[in-house]
Amino acid sequence: MTKTPVFDADLSGGRNLGDLPEWDLTDLYPGQDSPDLKRDLDWLEAACADFARDYEGKLAGLDAADMLTAVQRYEKIDVIAGRIMSYAGLRYYQATTDSSRAKFMSDMQDRITTYTTPLVFWSLEFNRLTDDQVAALWAANGDLARYKPVFERMRALRPYQLSDELEKFLHDQSTVGASAWNKLFDETIAGLTFTVDGEELGIEGTLNLLTEQDRDTREAAMRELARVFGDNVRTFARVHNTLAKEKEIEDRWRGMPTPQTGRHLSNHVEPEVVEALRNAVVAAYPRLSHRYYALKAKWLGLERMQVWDRNAPLPMESETIIDWPRARAMVMDAYADFDPRMADLAEPFFDKGWIDAGVKPGKAPGAFAHPTVTEVHPYVMLNYLGKPRDVMTLAHELGHGVHQVLAAGQGELLSSTPLTLAETASVFGEMLTFRKLLSEAPSQAERKVLLAGKVEDMINTVVRQIAFYDFECKLHDARRAGELTPDDINALWMSVQATSLGPVFDFAEGYETFWAYIPHFVHSPFYVYAYAFGDGLVNALYAVFEESGESFNDKYFAMLKAGGSLHHSELLAPFGLDASDPAFWDKGLAMISGLIDELEAMED
């Protein structure tokens, strides 16, 4: 019933950052004991029961007007359930180790699951309607036909749905299935402590040290991460084994042909499009990551790179910390230069308590934008520590937020964008910020630092995420043959590392456990290819923007406003782009290769 926040990893750091904003969640509810929340819970329980009483077993007999009323009632239920779970979830992410918040989150999940179980019939029964019946409904009522994309995605699952009784069982037991293991993972990660040079840090602060100038500090951080991950690897292996097996069981019962099928269906993307993307990126490893890291080794004065050198700053890079007011100005200026409308949409995030930026004990790691519900507004979570990558993370998450605000006009059922398209505005926001900073670079050395930083971000978004995708594919395939030991999972992780990063790398002992902290593998299996999809799509879009100038802007805003109401082919057609064409991905990858060409030319 609820939307998934768009999660993004953040590996940045710093201090002396100014006044960092915190969320004001009162736009959702004043507090967990508020009368407003109790009112909505009571309403939801009754509304779900009434909906089932009025429609279960009767969908085949509804005319178009009655079906529209049913859809609108269902949408209202979705809004209220989403509002409650957004509030519970955002409070939890702020302090995952706070037992009272964890209890509240679990209690809300239990109640929402119980209340909404009577609604399971809705998609199952609608999918039993014939194609002719459905076509007649669309033809009879234009307001109902607006919801056609929602039902098309629902009907794509027809071959894989189970009996009503089994579907209700799966819905009921979900709170003690994947979501329970997700919470165990979140709470374990948030509770980890690391000691580097006598200082005790959480995971964000420790990962941040991998971007420090001092190589000994980077090595110490990596070895401490490896030690702590190693100490906890059995727990992480248990989480992955259980979730992969649970998925295998459900996929087998549903008759899904591959572990990836469910993700492709939810993303409304064809398997062959994802395969074309994956193959294009893997084929490009030598001219992207392999070539770039060979350059970086030379800049760092190293014959061989170690894993703690991957995100190292360049020797000429300053250690200036970017405080929050400056970061805000950098991103907002870039947005405004593209289109004042974009800056206007982003401004409330800073001024109205829609961003939680600071690193705090127990706070979930990484960054995300949560759309909540269309009647409220999105919230952005960061772990801001003041380095250039943090500024790009801010630009990225604000892009998500702007997209979510624009798409809200579609209403609750049509606003949610498949993950493959959800990364469009975020990556575009990063690109705008990067291009503005590059145009204002005061020296060739600063330009080089910016170019290298952007190339590294793109490699992390494209190459690294496709390597993650390959790791997940191997993990789920291997789990079908039996239980995986931590060493088994370690070996699968290492099997994709050298191939993706290149021959210049050595991998220190302990790095084999670094799969353990990646949240996407746990929360959203096969999510990761969406990053590469989004980056390739934005690179192609940006090329169109450079060619067409301001005529691009209105088409771009229309694409964001469409939310989940159009297929990717329909969204890209106005720009003359086609993601099903393998050459489309080569076009996006060529932009990364071109930036590396420019860096190589600076060596002459």
Per mean pLDDT, which range of 169-178, 268-277, 331-340, 422-431 is the poorest?
169-178
Q: Check residue 6 and give its pLDDT.
A: 52
Evaluate if residue 245 carries a pLDDT over 90: yes
- Residues facing residue 410 across a β-bridge: none
- Continuous H helices in 339-423: 340-351, 388-407, 412-415, 419-422
CATH domain 31-176 topology: Butyryl-CoA Dehydrogenase, subunit A; domain 3 (1.20.140)
Q: Taking residues 33-38, report their average pLDDT.
A: 97
Task: Return the DSSP state at 201.
Answer: E
Q: Residue for token digits 């930083």?
A: 453
Tell me what the pLDDT averaged over the chain comes to: 93
Q: What DSSP assignment string belongs to 451-479? A: HHHHHHHHHHHTHHHHHHHHHHHHHHHHH
pLDDT range class, residue 114, cuts 50, 70, 90: very high
Evaluate if residue 243 carries a pLDDT over 60: yes
SS3 string of 252-283? HHHCCCCCCHHHHHHHCCCHHHHHHHHHHHHH
Task: Return the DSSP state at 305.
Answer: B
Distances (CA, A) of 401 to 435, 438, 566: 20, 24, 19
Q: Which two tokens stand for residue 254?
A: 């549903």
Would you tell me how many other CB atoms lie within 10 Å of the CB of residue 35?
10
Q: Check residue 34 and give its pLDDT.
A: 97
Say if CB 147 and CB 74 are below 8 A apart.
no
CA contacts within 13 A on the Cβ side of 481? 7
pLDDT range class, residue 432, cuts 50, 70, 90: very high
Q: Check residue 13 and give its pLDDT.
A: 38
Render pLDDT for 503-532 as a digit per residue (tens, 0 to 9): 999 999 999 999 999 999 999 999 999 989
CA distance 288 to 594: 10
Q: Residue for token digits 């994309």?
A: 149
Evaluate if residue 319 carries a pLDDT over 80: no
Evaluate if residue 249 carries a pLDDT over 80: yes
Phi and psi dihedrals of 357, rounded to 5? -105, -30
Q: Check residue 582 and give its pLDDT.
A: 78
What single-letter amino acid sits at 525? Answer: P
Q: Check residue 11 and give its pLDDT.
A: 33
Say if CB 308 and CB 221 are below 8 A apart.
yes
Phi and psi dihedrals of 367, rounded to 5? -150, 150
Question: Above pLDDT 70, what percent of the chain?
Answer: 97
pLDDT range class, residue 238, cuts 50, 70, 90: very high
pLDDT range class, residue 3, cuts 50, 70, 90: low
Say if CB 544 and CB 576 are below 8 A apart.
yes
Question: Above pLDDT 90, what percent of the chain?
Answer: 79
pLDDT range class, residue 604, cuts 50, 70, 90: low
What single-letter amino acid sits at 448? Answer: K
Q: At what angle do helices 444-461 and 289-300 cross, to 10 degrees?
A: 140
Q: Check residue 543 and give its pLDDT.
A: 87
Phi and psi dihedrals of 151, rounded to 5? -75, -30
CA distance 507 to 495: 12
Say if CB 78 and CB 51 are below 8 A apart.
no
Q: Check residue 12 and give its pLDDT.
A: 33
Would you tell me how many other CB atoms lie within 10 Å of the CB of residue 322?
21
CA distance 480 to 247: 10
Element (H, E) at 196: strand 194-196
Render pLDDT for 160-215 as a digit per residue (tens, 0 to 9): 999 989 998 988 888 788 889 999 999 999 899 999 999 999 998 999 999 999 99
Would you tell me how many other CB atoms lie within 10 Å of the CB of residue 313?
20
Render pLDDT for 366-393 as a digit per residue (tens, 0 to 9): 899 999 999 999 999 999 999 888 999 9
Q: Which two tokens stand for residue 309?
A: 């050198």
CA distance 53 to 564: 30
Say if CB 391 and CB 385 are below 8 A apart.
no
Say if CB 372 and CB 383 are below 8 A apart.
no
Render pLDDT for 39-79 as a digit per residue (tens, 0 to 9): 999 999 999 999 999 999 999 999 999 999 999 999 999 99
Per mean pLDDT, which range of 193-197, 343-347, 543-547 is the poorest?
543-547
- CA 414 to chain CA mean position, Å: 19
Say if CB 310 and CB 501 are below 8 A apart.
yes
Q: Under DSSP, is residue 505 helix (H, G, I), strand (E, B) or coil?
A: strand
Q: Which two tokens stand for residue 268?
A: 């409304």
CA distance 459 to 568: 24
| Size of the chain in residues | 604
Would you tell me how many other CB atoms lie within 10 Å of the CB of residue 358?
16
Q: Computed over its alpha carbons, how large is the radius of gyration of the chain?
A: 24
What single-letter amino acid sits at 142? Answer: G
Q: Taking residues 422-430, report their average pLDDT.
A: 91
Q: Which two tokens stand for residue 559?
A: 């694409």
Following CA atoms 102, 107, 108, 110 in sequence, which dihedral angle do they give, to the nearest 10 degrees? 130
Q: At what angle do helices 444-461 and 388-407 cross, to 10 degrees?
A: 60
